[in-house]
């Protein structure tokens, strides 16, 4: 497994690199945002540890660009900024998890294992699925509505997949946050609501009267094919 670290604090960067190497990971690193982005785009990387405050280009922009170019790349954001809005901002851009400095190495390793586990393809998972006028290819991250390709983020694909895998079941917003976003801070259900609204706009014939991605008042959502 190859992990790329983009972190401008050299002492933190060296500590992370040493600990991850000791754990058996291959490690690439950069202390500059632009250089780190180029490494992530040009080389094979299994996971990215990404600081927010960086010289050259900040972590939010790196996350946004990578989720567009490499939507399958798992990203854990690492930063000294710990407000809820900072966390929501990173997660809304597609980050898979979020750690606030200072953190322990055992916690970081547990987060890495969890994110890598979620990102690995499961042979029993859905690869293709269709409903109404929608055709989804989860392996290629492609979505079509009436044969026209619609752009969905990797997070939108994961949210759809989870709902489809639990077809007909009522899924609580908190469960969606835990299973799809995979972070253990105080959940922000507004994040789920915003993603659901965007999915309806992209996939439902009448987003105001959805037939497939349904709300269950006071609880969460369910998928009906």
CATH number for 17: 3.40.50.2300
What is the rounded CA–CA span in Å between residue 125 and residue 110? 23
pTM for the structure as a whole: 0.56
Q: What is the pLDDT of residue 185?
A: 47
Number of structural domains (the chain) is 2
Q: Is the domain of 133 the same as that of 86?
A: no
Alpha helix stretches (DSSP H) within the chain = 10-22, 33-42, 59-69, 84-92, 105-119, 154-165, 173-176, 189-203
Q: Is the domain of 136 the same as that of 114?
A: no
Q: Is the domain of 92 the same as that of 132?
A: no
Burial class (CB in 10 A: 0-12, 13-18, 19+), 111: buried
Choose one of 95, 119, 143: the last residue of a domain.
119
Tell me what the pLDDT averaged over the chain comes to. 87
Calculate mean pLDDT across residues 24-36: 94
Q: For residue 217, what are the domain limits? A: 128-223
Q: Residues with Cβ < 8 Å from 217, sequence gap 6 or more?
A: none
Q: Is the domain of 55 the same as that of 78?
A: yes
Mind listing the pLDDT tens digit for each residue in 192-210? Answer: 899 999 999 999 999 999 9
Q: Is the domain of 96 the same as that of 142?
A: no
Mind listing the pLDDT tens digit for each residue in 43-100? Answer: 999 999 999 889 889 999 999 999 889 988 999 998 876 555 666 666 777 888 888 8
Mind listing the pLDDT tens digit for each residue in 180-189? Answer: 876 544 447 7
């Amino acid at each position: 497994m190859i992990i790329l670290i983009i972190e401008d604090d050299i002492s933190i960067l060296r500590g992370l690199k040493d600990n991850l190497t000791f754990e058996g990971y291959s490690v690439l690193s950069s202390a500059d945002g632009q250089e780190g982005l180029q490494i992530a785009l040009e080389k094979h990387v299994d996971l990215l540890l990404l600081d927010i405050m960086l010289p050259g280009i900040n972590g939010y922009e790196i996350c946004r660009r990578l989720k567009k170019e490499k939507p399958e790349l798992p990203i854990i954001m690492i930063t000294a900024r710990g407000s809820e809005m900072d966390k929501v901002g990173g997660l809304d851009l597609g980050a898979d998890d979020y750690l606030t400095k200072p953190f322990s190495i055992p916690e970081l390793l547990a987060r890495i294992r969890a994110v890598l586990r979620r990102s690995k393809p499961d042979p029993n998972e859905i690869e293709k699925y269709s409903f109404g006028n929608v055709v989804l290819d989860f392996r290629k991250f492609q979505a079509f509505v009436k044969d026209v390709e619609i752009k969905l983020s990797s997070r939108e694909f994961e949210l759809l997949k989870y709902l489809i895998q639990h077809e007909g079941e009522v899924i609580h917003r908190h469960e969606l946050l835990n299973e799809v976003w995979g972070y253990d801070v105080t959940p922000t259900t507004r994040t789920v609501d915003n993603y659901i609204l965007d999915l309806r706009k992209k996939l439902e014939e009448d987003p105001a009267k959805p037939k497939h991605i349904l709300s269950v008042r006071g609880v969460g959502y369910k998928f009906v094919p």
